[in-house]
Amino acid sequence: MPRKTYVAAIQEALAEEMRRDERVFLIGEDVRIGVFPSTRGLHAEFGDRRVIDTPISELAVAGAGIGAAVTGLRPIVDLMFGTFLYLAFDQIANQAGAMRYMYGGQTKVPLVFMVQSGAGSSAGHHHSQAVHQFFMNMPQIKVILPSTPYDGKGLLKSAIRDDNPVIFLHSLSLGGKRGEVPSDEYLLPIGVADVKRSGSDVTICAVGPTVYTALEAAEKLATEGLEAEVIDLRSLSPWDKRTVLESVAKTGRFVAVDESFPTCSAASEWAATVAEEAFPDLKAPVQRVTNADVPMPFSPVLEKAVLPSAADVVAAVHRTLT
Amino acid sequence: MHHQDIALEVVLDIYTRVLRIRRFEEEVGRLFRQGQLPGFVHLYIGEEAVAAGVCAALTDDDTIISTHRGHGHVIAKGGDLNRMMAELFGKATGYCKGKGGSMHIADFDIGMLGAIGIVGGGMPIAVGAGLSAWYTDSDRVSVCFFGDGAANEGSFHESLNLASTLRLPVIFVCENNQYGEFTPALQAMNISDIADRGAGYGIPGLVADGTDALEMYRVAKAAVTRARDGGGPTLIEAKTHRRGSHAEGEEAFLGGQTYRSDEEMAAARTKDPLLLLHSYVSENDILPAAQLETLDAEITQSVAEAVDAARDSPAPEIESLFEDLWV
Ligand SMILES: Cc1ncc(C[n+]2csc(CCOP(=O)(O)OP(=O)(O)O)c2C)c(N)n1
Ligand SMILES: [Mg+2]
C-alpha cells in the first residue's frame, strides 16, 4: 500500500470528491495557491468556478457556504486556522447547525468547514488553539479530527457526502506524518472509533495528535507490565460511546486525553459519560488529561508544557491504580 | 519630496525610526533563516515609512494597535529593542515574558496596546481606546494600523461606523501593501482606493504615499489635530509595498509557486522608504554624511546587542505558565 502524508491524503480526498460530484466546490482565502498544501493543485484541475479565492471575510464566506448548501451545492469552506472559525461563529452556531431543525425539516445543510486545529508551531494564542470542543457543544454539527492519513482521507470523503454541516479539523502538527493509504477508493463512517492499541488494564481515549501521546504513554506503561487500550475516537460529534463503554467494561479504568482547554473539553464529555454509564465497571475515578488552563503561550518550552504529555498520561493512569 | 515645512529635528527623528525598524527587521530575517526563531515572522521591510511617520505625529500618551506584521509599529512608538528581540526568541526577558511572540508584542507603558494575529482584530479595540479618551475628556488619540486585507473584514466596517457615530478620536491607518498573503488587494475588492470607504461611514478617507515617511507624518498630524479637536475619526490609506515574503520562509512552503512579477518587485525597490528619506536628509544637509553613518552604526550595534542579550537570556520557567492569571 502506498505511504502518503496526512496533507497529501486530504488533498486526494478533496480531488476525488470534486471529480465525483460537480456540486462539490472549494472556497476560502488563498485556496488556489494553497496556504496549506492540502488544497494545492486543485485549481489547476478544477478551474475558477470550483476553486474560489475569497477576500479575508470569514463570516461572509461561511455564510455563503451555507447559502450555497441550502440551494443545492455541496461547499467545502476552508477557513485556514481553527481560531478563524470564531469570526464565523454566528453563521455556524446560529445558522448552519440549526436550519434543518429550526425550519421543520424543510432543508439540509451539506457543508464542510475545513481548518487546521491545534498547537505545535509556536505561533502564540491566535494560531495555536484546538477548537473542537466549542463545536461539540453545538447540536447537529458533526466534528471530526483524524490522526492518520488513512483516517483523514476516508473521513473527509464521508464528510463531503454527508447532508449535515461537518467541521473537519486537521492537525497542523500531523501534516507531515506518513501512513498507508489504499489506492482503491474507500470511505470511513463518521462516528466510529478505531482502537489503535488493545489492552486490558486501562482505557485511554484520545483524538487527533493526542492519539500519539496516548500511544507513547502506552509503551511506557507496557514496560511496567500494564496494558493500555488506546481508542482513537476520530469523530468528536457524534462520538463512539459504545466502543469506549465496552472497553471500560473490560478494563475498569478510564483516562481521557484531549488537547483542549480543560473546562467543557472533549475529555469532560467523555469522562462524564463514562462516570454516568459505566460507574459499576469502574475500579477508580475517571481521569482527564488536557491542556493547562491558560491561553496558548508562544515560547516553545511553555507551549510544550501546556499540552498533554505522555508523562501526564502515565501519571493519570497511575492515579487510577491507587 | 518637498517637506520644507517639517522641522529638521522632526525629519531626523523620523529617519531614525525608519532606520531602526529596517536594521531590526533585516536582522530578524537573518535569524529566522538560520532557524533561530520559533513560530511565524512577518517583516515590515518596505513599509517603515507608515509607522515612522504616523508615530512621530503622536505623543507618548497616544495609543496604537498593531497587526501580525507588528515589529515596525512597536519600534516606531519607541519600543525597546532588547525586550522585543527577547520576545521573538521566546525568552523570559521579552516584553510578554515569552508568552506572546512576534505576533503579540505589546508595551502598554508607551501606549502600544498590542500586536494582534487575527486579521482585523485590532480595529474594534482601537475604537475602545478612543472611547475611553472621550469618556475621560482626555485629548489622547487612538491609532489603529491594519492591512488592505483587513479592510474586508466585518470588523473594519463596524469599527469605522461605530467610531464615526460616536465621533471618537480614532485614526484608522490602512497599510495597503497590495496583498493579503498571496491574493492581490485588487482581486479582493472592486475599488482601487480603500480610502473611499470612509465616505460610507461619514468620515474623511485620505490616500497617502506610504513610502514617503514625511508625507505620512504630515497626513497623520492633520488627522491627530482633527481628532484632538473633537472632529472624530479619519481613515488614512497608505499605499506601500511589502518588500519580502508575507511570512518568512514563504518560498519553501509555497513549493516554488510565485505570485508577484519581477517587474513589480523591481518597481517596488525604486520606492524604498529608507532610500527616499536618506536622499532627502542628505540633499537638505540635515545631517552630514559621516554622522548619518555613525547613526547607522549605532543602530546596527544596538540590534546586535539585542540579539546577544536575547540569546543569553533564560527561557521562561515552567512555573511562569501560571503567572498573570486570575486564579
Ligand atoms: C481572521 C484571520 N483570517 C486570516 C488570517 C490569516 N492571515 C494572516 S495575515 C493575512 C493577510 C493579511 O493581509 P493584510 O491585512 O493586507 O496585511 P499584510 O499581511 O499585507 O500586512 C491572512 C489572511 C488571520 N491571521 N486572521
Ligand atoms: Mg496587505
A127 counts as catalytic: yes
ipTM over 0.90: yes
Domain A3-180 grouped into CATH 3.30.2020.10: no
| Separation of CA A248 from chain center | 23
* B289 lies in some domain: yes
- What CA–CA distances, in Å, run from B296 to B13, B17, B270, B303? 13, 11, 21, 11
Between chains, do A33 and B182 touch, taking CB under 8 Å as contact? Answer: yes
A17: cell is 470528491
* B280 lies in some domain: yes
Closest Cα of chain B to A77: distance in Å?
A: 17
**How many structural domains comprise chain B?**
1
The model's pLDDT over B53-65, given as tens digits with 9 standing for 90+, comes to 999 999 999 999 9
* B14 lies in some domain: yes
- What CA–CA distances, in Å, run from A304 to A124, A292, B186? 12, 10, 41
Give the residue from B209, B197, B176, B177 showing the smallest Cα distance to B53: B209
The model's pLDDT over A286-312, given as tens digits with 9 standing for 90+, comes to 999 999 999 999 999 999 999 999 999
**Residue A120 confidence class, pLDDT cut points 50, 70, 90:** confident
Question: Strand, coil or helix: what is A230?
Answer: strand
The model's pLDDT over B235-252, given as tens digits with 9 standing for 90+, comes to 999 999 999 999 999 998
- Residue spans in chain A of domains classed CATH 3.40.50.920: 194-319
Q: Which of A127, A132, A170, A318 is catalytic?
A: A127
Taking the domain A194-319, which CATH number applies? 3.40.50.920
- What is the arithmetic mean of pLDDT over A176-191? 96
Using CA atoms, how far apart are residues A90 and B207, in angstroms rounded to an integer?
Answer: 34
Considering only CB atoms, B99 lies closest to which of A34, A35, A299, namely A299
- What is the arithmetic mean of pLDDT over B213-223? 98
Q: Which domain holds residue B225?
A: 8-310
Q: Are B303 and B27 in contact (CB under 8 A)?
A: yes
CA-nearest residue to B121 within chain A is A87
Question: Strand, coil or helix: what is A237?
Answer: strand
Count of Cβ atoms closer than 10 Å to residue A152 Cβ: 32
Q: How many CB pairs (< 8 A) connect A and B? A: 123
Q: Decide if pLDDT at B2 tops 80.
A: no
- Residue spans in chain A of domains classed CATH 3.40.50.970: 3-180
- The alpha carbons of chain A give a radius of gyration, in whole angstroms, of 19
- What CA–CA distances, in Å, run from B133 to A169, B54, B127? 42, 19, 10
* B322 lies in some domain: no
B135: cell is 469618556
Q: Decide if pLDDT at A153 tops 70.
A: yes
Is B101 part of the contact surface with chain A (CB cutoff 8 Å)? yes
The model's pLDDT over B296-313, given as tens digits with 9 standing for 90+, comes to 999 999 999 999 999 999
* B186 lies in some domain: yes
Distance B181 CA to ligand 1 centre (A): 6
- What CA–CA distances, in Å, run from B141 to B64, B111, B116, B228, B298? 9, 10, 19, 7, 32
Residues of chain A positioned with their CB less than 8 A from the CB of B87:
298
Considering only CB atoms, B98 lies closest to which of A84, A292, A302, namely A302
